[in-house]
Amino acid sequence: MRGQGRIFQPVVNGKRCHRWWVDYSLDGKRFREATGTTDRRLALRVLRSRTEKRESGELVGRPEHVTFADLRQLIEAAYKEAGNRSSVRLKAALNHLETFFGVGAKVPSITAARVSAYAAHRLEAGAGRATVGYEKAILRRALRLGAEKGLLTVVPKITTPKVENTRKGFFTQGELGAVLVELPADVRALVTFLVETGWRRDEGRLLTWAEVEWDGYTITLPGSRSKSGEPRVFPFEHAPTLRAVLEAQWASRECLFVFSRTGTALGVGAVRSAWHRAVTRAGIPKRLLHDLRRTCARNMRRQGLAESDIMALCGWETREMFKRYCIKDEAALSNAVARANGKVTAKYDTPTPAPTHVS
């Protein structure tokens, strides 16, 4: 009937498309949208849904005029407005998506089937499942932003299966010592700082002397550099290894950064290359710099610190995130085994602390 729209199969390069499209009007403007189905009955159902939403005022947008470039602009603006710190990772994900779909790809062509093809393509290229899941989540977020802005009528269903990617690496005292002796002095100082504080790489790498308080022996990480956005304080008066590292860096300071090289903060590339060489020579080539964070938390737990104190010192927001690092309360487990075997308590030997600063 007139005004109720129609379904059709477009002709592309002289060949009729097997999938149905819907054609309807809204506020005097014409809309065409792919249904993603070859079933005529399902296509008619999509058309009825659109016309019903049109009558109720729910239907907006002109998807055939929205491109991937428009979606990219939306999500980049949203990240900038929110002050998200993962803009580098976002850009990398968008670059991969853009290469596959095309900068001028119209939104109706980004179907669930095409997204599945993208995932298969990325996995075949060697990308990890967690990485592919992140990229699909970015695309889904961009599409939802398009709907929120009134540019799209519907958003294709994009699923992101849960991936078990909890890291479990820890350093033994011997392993850490072997790595430290292979590092250049400036990177060695940073690594020692990280294993003593449990802080993230850039939280230590970009530490400035203005954030070190000698009168109170505290390090204050401002919220602007914290992943959680919350400031953090780490007292070091009674942490001899950490205090020795900071005193040595202070004696040889050359700029505003605590860990520097040639008058500026240690570069990410310099740290990565030095770390890769060191773990390779130490015989543990697959160990990550981030394993220092887990190692510090485990050492603190073994020394009897409460989970809440470790979380506050190292920067975990929730106990769930803390648990993902597989930090076990080994003392409690040991005592549990002792009780199960008829003993009141079990002797729990606190291991030797992390190695002292190597000069």
End residue of a domain, out of 98, 131, 148? 148
Please give the model's pTM, rounded to 2 decimal places. Answer: 0.58
Spatial separation of the C-alpha atoms in residues 254 and 209, rounded to whole Å: 11
pLDDT of residue 327: 56
Asked whether residue 176 carries a pLDDT value surpassing 60, the answer given is yes
> In Å, how far are 102, 167, 236, 258 from 203, measured between CA atoms?
37, 20, 16, 11
Residue pair 75/95 in contact by the 8 Å Cβ criterion: no
Please indicate, yes or no, whether residues 233 and 322 belong to a single structural domain of this protein. yes
Please indicate, yes or no, whether residues 48 and 107 belong to a single structural domain of this protein. no
- Mean pLDDT of the region 186-205: 95
Q: Residue 220: which domain range?
A: 173-340
Please indicate, yes or no, whether residues 90 and 38 belong to a single structural domain of this protein. no
Q: Is residue 348 part of a domain?
A: no
pLDDT of residue 86: 73
- Number of folded domains in the chain? 3
Q: Is residue 227 part of a domain?
A: yes
pLDDT of residue 36: 82
Q: Is residue 11 part of a domain?
A: yes
Please indicate, yes or no, whether residues 41 and 87 belong to a single structural domain of this protein. no
- The token duo for 296 is 């510090």
- The pLDDT tens digits of the residues spanning 294-320 come to 899 888 888 888 888 998 999 888 777
Q: Residue 10 half-sphere exposure, CB side, CA atoms within 13 Å? A: 11
